[in-house]
Amino acid sequence: MKFSCQGLELADAVLKTVKAAAVRTTNPILECVKMVAEDDKLTLTCTDLELTITKVIRADVRVPGVAVIPAKFFADFASKISSETIEFNLRDKTLDVTYGDNNAYFQCQDASEFPEPKTLDQPEYVEVRSDNFKELVTKASVAVAQDDSRPMLRGILLEVTNGELRGVALDGVRMALIKKPTISQSAEFGLVVSARCLIEIVRLLPDSDQPIKICTQKNHLQITLGDSILMTRLMGMQSDYVSYRQILPKDFTTTINVNRRHILDTIERAGLLSRVDRNFVVKFDINGKDMVISSESELGNITEHLQTTHAGADLKIEFNGRLYTDALRVITDEFVQIRYGSAVHPCVIVPQEGEEYLYLVLPMHKI
């Protein structure tokens, strides 16, 4: 193997692929990056078997070949090189790197031991905007379960149907349902993917309207953006997940429209007090046109009055304030609508217009 490439392009690519490399594992090959040089391209791949990232950059390849070296170390090294051109030359098990007047020699691992990523041939896929997919994952992930009691709830359900991509997460006391339009669609699917991997994946996607391709095959989800391929194992199919449609409440008795920032700040202040008792209980008293939010603990108590537009019956209800603030922090709308059933039924936070997102929150039950 003999090739040269641009220092900045290499540093950028290796810093992105290294995110999928394993950290502190008993299998050191999973801590490595695989470099494949052929056809004027250098392909970099890292995998911890759960998440696989592949990135391709331009290279001037004189002798094609494969080398496997420690990924974290190589990422640190590449990001500290300011040289324009870096030359690589593989001799036996040593990779010779020349940059400017300088030389480095790295010991290579056995390339045949590197787990071969299963590249999918993408027969059927869904295209969505990169920024829309990022937003969907970010907004859904606040409702993902944080404990391992039901492992499937550590995932996000991705459902493609009727020109729409849906992301669903729930943890027993709340649910998030986010909808984004697809650009084109030759497949319909419903599958569950680890939220941790999806969050890692969307960090690598650009915040632009560039389209990404999503496809699934052989127990994997594959996301393609230009020359980058991001792949992760499925946790299960839609049938393994909770039937979320049955949970959606249909009847509401009280509806308010409220400035998102104002209600978020108010619940956060009230939460400061209830945090002390670790129960985060925040009381809502919806009464006429006024909404009174209060909380108390051994430290003292807080009572705040919030301007809302209000329709329907008066209502007194108690919530875990965190379930509200988690959702209200990732929403970007200036105003939101909150619909309540009764003091023991779930409420939903939705946009004032459209139905791009829905957060369902269960109230605290009085004993």
Q: 8, 15, 56, 81: which one contacts a second copy (CB under 8 A)?
A: 81
* 334 binding a second copy? (CB under 8 A): no
Q: 25, 27, 85, 103: which one contacts a second copy (CB under 8 A)?
A: 103
Q: How far apart are the C-alpha atoms of 326 and 138, rounded to whole Å?
A: 11
By beta-carbon proximity to a second copy, the closer residue of 82 and 246 is 82
CB atoms within 10 A of CB 287: 12
AA letter at 6: Q
How far, CA to CA in Å, does 223 sit from each of 22, 198, 229?
20, 10, 6
Chain-centroid distance of CA 205 in Å reads 10
Shortest reach from residue 125's CB to a second copy, in Å: 40
Instruction: Name the segment binding a second copy (CB under 8 A); options: 27-35, 99-107, 178-186, 323-331.
Output: 99-107
* 25 binding a second copy? (CB under 8 A): no
By beta-carbon proximity to a second copy, the closer residue of 111 and 168 is 111
Give which of 22, 1, 6, 19 is closest to 78, Cα–Cα.
6
290-309 residues near a second copy, rule: CB under 8 A:
298-305
Helix (H) or strand (E) holding 76: helix 71-79
Q: 94, 161, 208, 309: which one contacts a second copy (CB under 8 A)?
A: 94
Shortest reach from residue 70's CB to a second copy, in Å: 6
Please state the φ and ψ torsions of residue 68, each to the nearest 5 degrees: -125, 120
Residue 141 class from Cβ within 10 Å (0-12 exposed, 13-18 middle, 19+ buried)?
buried
* 289 binding a second copy? (CB under 8 A): no
* 265 binding a second copy? (CB under 8 A): yes
Q: How far apart are the C-alpha atoms of 114 and 118, rounded to whole Å?
A: 12
Shortest reach from residue 89's CB to a second copy, in Å: 13
% helix, strand, coil for the chain, step of 5: 25, 45, 30
Q: 95, 202, 282, 331: which one contacts a second copy (CB under 8 A)?
A: 95
AA letter at 170: L
Are 80 and 72 spatial neighbours (Cβ–Cβ below 8 Å)? no
* 23 binding a second copy? (CB under 8 A): no
Number of chain residues interacting with a second copy (CB under 8 A) = 30
* 101 binding a second copy? (CB under 8 A): yes
194-233 residues near a second copy, rule: CB under 8 A:
none
Instruction: Name the segment binding a second copy (CB under 8 A); options: 162-170, 236-244, 264-272, 314-322.
Output: 264-272
Helix (H) or strand (E) holding 132: helix 130-141
Q: Which residues, at least 6 apart from 316, have a Cβ–Cβ distance to it below 8 Å?
A: 283, 284, 285, 286, 343
By beta-carbon proximity to a second copy, the closer residue of 167 and 271 is 271
By beta-carbon proximity to a second copy, the closer residue of 17 and 325 is 325
Give the x/- contact pattern for a second copy in 51-80, rule: CB under 8 A: -------------------x--x--xx--x
Q: State the residues that interact with a second copy by CB under 8 A.
A: 70, 73, 76-77, 80-82, 94-95, 101-107, 265, 268-269, 272-273, 276, 298-305
